Amino acid sequence: MKSFRLSRLAALFGLLALAGCVSDSDRSDAPDRPMDPWVFRSVLDERPRMVTLALHDNLWVSYSGQTGALYKAWRGGVNFDGPVYTTVHGPQPTTIGDGWMENRFPLPWRLLEGDKEWRPRVQYRGHRFEDGHVWLHYELHHDGHVVHVWEQPEYAERGAGQVGFVRTF
């Protein structure tokens, strides 16, 4: 009888362990993503420390991990070339396809207080997954103060197949 209880208890713990292994992308209510992993860091278009999100086949976006700036939004994907992906030294990953937008402002963050404006030091603090979506976390530092910025970028489709990009802060 004691061994039967122990085996049932072991089976229960095993099921709980397996349930904990289900990733956000395995959830049935999570948006479909064009690849897995759909959030990754790499060099992209000769820019180091980029954070790229494959939100949808029609929308990929990339942010600078150095400045917290949105770098580019495009349709297409990434050409995974270079030593990490193909063992060929020299080339690096590049964007493929048509660009929706490319940011020309490398340092977009500003802190305002009254009529004073400061350019903060930006630190990328990583990202987290929640209900099939990603949240990017940045810290803006100035004069001993820290502002935490959480952003959830997401694909949206409007009527007639129009591509939308939603940024929730």
Residue 4 lies in a domain: no
In a domain, 58, yes or no: yes
Is 10 among the domain residues?
Answer: no
> What pTM did the predictor assign?
0.79
List of residues 6+ apart from 137 with CB closer than 8 A: 124, 125, 126, 127, 128, 148, 149, 150
In a domain, 143, yes or no: yes
Residue 35's domain comprises 26-107+116-168
6 lies in some domain: no
How much is the pLDDT for 30?
Answer: 81
pLDDT at 5: 57
Which residues, at least 6 apart from 23, have a Cβ–Cβ distance to it below 8 Å? 129
User: pLDDT tens digits for 32-60?
Assistant: 999 999 999 999 999 999 999 999 999 99
Residue 83 lies in a domain: yes
Q: Residue 129 falls within a domain, yes or no?
A: yes
Return the closest-CA partner of residue 45 out of 89, 80, 92, 5.
92
- For residue 121, is it within any domain? yes
Question: Which neighbouring-strand residues pair with 152?
Answer: 168
- Whether residue 16 has pLDDT greater than 90: no
Going 54 to 60 to 65 to 68, the CA torsion angle's sign is: negative
Total domain count for the chain?
Answer: 1
